[in-house]
Amino acid sequence: MAGETQSTNVWPLPKFYFSVTGLPSGTVSFQEVTGLSTEVTPIEYRHGDSPSFYPIKMPGLGKVGNVTMRKGIFINDTALWNWFDQIKMNTIERLTVVVSLLDESAAPKMVWTLQNAFPIKVTGTELKSEGNEVAVESVEIAFETMTISAP
């Protein structure tokens, strides 16, 4: 009976199984994605003859943070740097970037869609002569809107 109860439980998704698509190099394996956030700035209003001592709060404009993605550096993999270099020529391509949290069968269970995304910062790895870590680069992406869905 204990086994039956456990098999019907719903478990939270692990955060280590995800994919990122829509970048210039297609689907990219990232080590880390941070900054998937959105918020609404409240507007405070109080009309002049209000008997209340406190203002009324209403939802204002939404805003999104920048997303930072980290991945290992591979030989001849310059797609992110090339995308960033388009800014210099004023030919930047704004993309729709999709971050998907996957289940054990690689089906997307939570999807963050970043509209009109473009890179604002690319950081190379830290070089240390005594280190034995993998070389990791990061890209920070700005975008206009984010939608969250659970397909």
Q: Does residue 113 belong to any structural domain of this protein?
A: yes
Q: Determine which of 4-8, 79-83, 137-141 has the lowest per-residue pLDDT on average.
A: 4-8
Q: Kindly report the CATH number assigned to the domain that includes residue 60.
A: 2.30.110.20
Q: Does residue 34 belong to any structural domain of this protein?
A: yes
Q: Does residue 2 belong to any structural domain of this protein?
A: no
Where in the sequence is the domain holding 77, given as residue range(s)?
13-41+52-149
Q: Does residue 64 belong to any structural domain of this protein?
A: yes
pLDDT for the residue numbered 134: 87
pLDDT > 80? residue 130: yes
Three state DSSP letters for the chain: CHHHHHHCCCCCCCCCCEEEEEECCEEECCCEEECCCEEEEEEEECCCCCCCCCCEEEEEEEEECCEEEEEECCCCCCHHHHHHHCCCCCCCCCEEEEEEEECCCCCEEEEEEEEEEEEEEEECCCCCCCCCCCCEEEEEEECCEEEEECC
Q: Does residue 96 belong to any structural domain of this protein?
A: yes
pLDDT tens per residue across span 66-117: 999 999 888 888 888 888 888 888 888 899 999 999 998 999 999 999 999 9
Residue found by looking up tokens 């297609």 in the block = 26
Q: What domain count does the chain have?
A: 1
